[in-house]
Amino acid sequence: MNYKNTITLLNFSLGPKNNIIKKLVDYFEDVENIINNFNSYKKNLDFLSEKDKLRIIDAINSNYIDKISKKIECDNINIVTRFDKEYPEKLKYIENSPFILYTIGSISNLNLINKNISIVGSRKATNYGKWVCKKFSKELTQKGITITSGMALGIDSIAHKTCLENKGKTIAVLGSGIDIIYPKRNKNLYEGIKKSGLVISEFPIGSRVMPYNFPVRNRIISGLSDGVLVVEASDKSGTLITATYAGEQNKEIFAVPGNIDNYLSKGTNQLIREGAKITTNLNDILEEFNWNSSKYIKVPKQEVDKFDEIDKKILEFLKEGSKNIIELSEKINIKQQNLLSKLTILEMQGIISQEKGKNFRLKN
């Protein structure tokens, strides 16, 4: 069984227990050996519960891969694993990083998307929230920025629809299997996103909607983006879970202020009190990422001439936006200790700045 089928089978058996899948991959070293040798070594796998062991054995015995292969082909479902070059770089560094993504749509490689903002908010949006969402979605789309959301009712749906209406690219991250449309009334929206963007899920094909799926999928919504814009949210909204993930992932959090008497403004106003950037117009977002110009930032030629090849690679990579030291180290292929010295010098020269969590960006 090849590595892609192996990861698909493990995902079907275990769901989004990516840390467990990683332990299996590390234990067997060669991914393709997991299924072939599972029965022989199952007694040694003390990090797996007996229930999970039985699920994997049942999936192997039921020929699960053969059963879904036709559906994958008929529905044009693409499978991307941690071992594929198309796997999103941004998701490699988040907590519980997904080992597999099921995708349908016109975007073949998420790594080619340089600018991505997630827009999230209440399912029961007010007229004010709807207006704000349409305004920002349209303006971001017209700037060539991809919009990511969760295809739920309310703010999510408005963000996707507005993006499509303005001929932009949008990404929907589902809390169900890639083939399960939820809510059902969003069937036309689902089809539209497939044609002009991408639908993504880490849940096994055929997985029904469960309440606990949504908090899990929210880390992917924030993980794929450069920043998260929260339009409307109550103080107990699931939207705040996405904002929390964004904070843990060192992503920028933007919040639109609302009427203090409206319960759907309590969440956004709370985020602002906690340090989210108060956002009232498009420039509040663009300026944060230096997206006002197509080249983000220009370093004077006389300065560039002083840099060695490593410096130039660092600056080129940072043109995409804020990056943490792990990303830079892997991308540039340099040890973190040596990289940190380079970054410190560039910071002292006033060319880059350091943010929380050892994130670095080009200075304005």
Sign of CA dihedral 351, 355, 360, 362: negative
pLDDT tens, residue by residue, 65-74: 998 998 999 9
Distances (CA, A) of 346 to 144, 315, 360: 30, 9, 10
Contacts of 161 (CB under 8 A, 6+ apart): 189, 192
Please give the pLDDT value at position 357: 64
Nearest 5°: phi and psi at 171? -120, 130
Residue 306 binned pLDDT confidence (cut-offs 50, 70, 90): low
Decide if pLDDT at 302 tops 90: no
Please give the pLDDT value at position 290: 83
User: CA geometry: angle at 102 spanning 96 and 104, to 5°?
Assistant: 140
The answer to whether 120 and 150 have CB atoms below 8 angstroms apart is yes
pTM strictly above 0.75: yes
Do you know the residue count of the chain? 364
Decide if pLDDT at 298 tops 80: no
pLDDT tens, residue by residue, 175-222: 999 999 999 999 999 999 999 899 999 999 999 999 999 999 999 999
Please give the pLDDT value at position 296: 41
- Domains of the chain by range and CATH? 3-74 (no CATH), 110-289 (3.40.50.450), 301-362 (1.10.10.10)
pLDDT tens, residue by residue, 2-20: 999 999 999 999 999 999 9
Please give the pLDDT value at position 330: 86
Nearest 5°: phi and psi at 316? -65, -40
Please give the pLDDT value at position 150: 97
Residue 303 binned pLDDT confidence (cut-offs 50, 70, 90): low
pLDDT tens, residue by residue, 93-134: 899 999 999 999 999 889 989 899 999 999 999 999 999 999
Task: Count CA atoms within 13 Å of residue 123 on its CB side.
Answer: 10
Nearest 5°: phi and psi at 233? -165, 140
Please give the pLDDT value at position 364: 60
